[in-house]
Amino acid sequence: MNAILFDANECVGCKACVYACTSENELPDSDEDRLSDRRFTVLEEIDEDEEWYLRRMCMHCVDPSCASACPVGALKKTDLGPVVYDFDKCIGCRYCMVACPFNIPRYEWDSMTPRVRKCQMCRERVAEGKSTACAEACPTGATKFGERSALIAEAWQRIDSAPDAYARHVYGEKEAGGTCVLIIGPQGVMDALNPNIPDGPLPHRTWFVLSQIPAAVAVVGAGLVGVNWIIQRRMKLGDVTTTETREPTEGGAS
């Protein structure tokens, strides 16, 4: 299983990863400094004096709660590592947004055909055996792509070789049951990460909560189906009335 290792001690804040992601995913140019439907990764400045930066992006959980919460399988975990999204299956319920412990998925609220948007870890590139665009573009090696177990071993090696520069923690090794985005760095950067993510997998927890929703959804859904039927019925009756009105006129004209 592939993963990404981000080392905050190596990051110089150049945003090459952000620009590479924008280009690879054909996203519009934007100055947004927060994750959105037009920005799949951002570089957050943690300490201006220390020049510490932190990448924010989908964590690509080993056992993703977003995928388990999706009732139609629009999100799934692939064997290669990425958690990917299929728009053709999506029904717009946005359960994934509620289920994600890292608050990552974003929705295209302004679109007539809205999609859930997030990093997909360059799924096409990874399938071809290539590195992610962000890792390939990083000039310092702060973002590295590779096999997850090997990156975890490398992360601990870096920590052990410079204990004063790193917190003794590989974020993502155990959080949420493990993720395919791993983060290491000084304590100040690690403190900016969510400390409330439990170590175990979350799907069974999120599903318990979300399983209480379908009853309400069913009622609302039935109402929407009824409204849709009424609208369609009126449209059909309108077409019939229009046709009946036109026929005598056309006959009189002939």
pLDDT digits (tens, 9 = 90+) for 213-237: 555 444 544 555 555 556 566 666 6
- Tell me, yes or no, whether 228 and 120 share the same domain: no
Q: Are residues 245 and 126 in the same domain?
A: no
Check residue 200 and give its pLDDT: 80
112 plus 161 within the same structural domain: yes
> Quick one: what percent of the chain has pLDDT higher than 90?
75
Q: In terms of domains, do 80 and 179 share one?
A: yes
Report pLDDT for 253: 47
pLDDT score, position 223: 53
Taking alpha carbons only, the member of 38, 249, 21, 6 closest to residue 142 is: 6
What gap in Å lies between CA 89 and CA 55, rounded to an integer?
30
| Shared-domain flag, residues 203 and 238 | no
**Do 227 and 201 fall into the same domain?**
no
Instruction: Identify whether the C-beta of residue 158 lies closer than 8 Å to the C-beta of residue 166.
Output: yes
Q: Are the C-beta atoms of residues 145 and 2 closer than 8 Å to each other?
A: yes
- How far is residue 58 from each of residues 61, 71, 164, measured CA to CA in Å? 8, 20, 29
**Averaged over 30-36, what is the pLDDT?**
90
157 and 46 in one domain? yes
Mark whether 55 and 173 lie in a shared domain.
yes
Residue 254 is predicted with a pLDDT of 43
Single-letter amino acid code for the residue at 109? W
End-to-end CA distance of the chain: 75
Count up the domains in the chain and report the number.
2
CA-closest candidate to residue 8, choices 134, 140, 150, 157: 140
Pair (200, 161) in one structural domain: yes
Domain membership of residue 20 as a residue range: 2-209
Q: Give, as one character, the DSSP assignment of residue 54.
A: E
pLDDT of 28 higher than 70? yes
Query: What are 149-207's pLDDT values in tens digits?
Result: 999 999 999 999 999 999 999 999 999 999 999 999 999 999 999 999 988 887 655 55
User: For residue range 35-56, what is the model confidence (pLDDT) as tens digits?
Assistant: 999 999 999 999 989 999 999 9
Same domain for 62 and 177 = yes
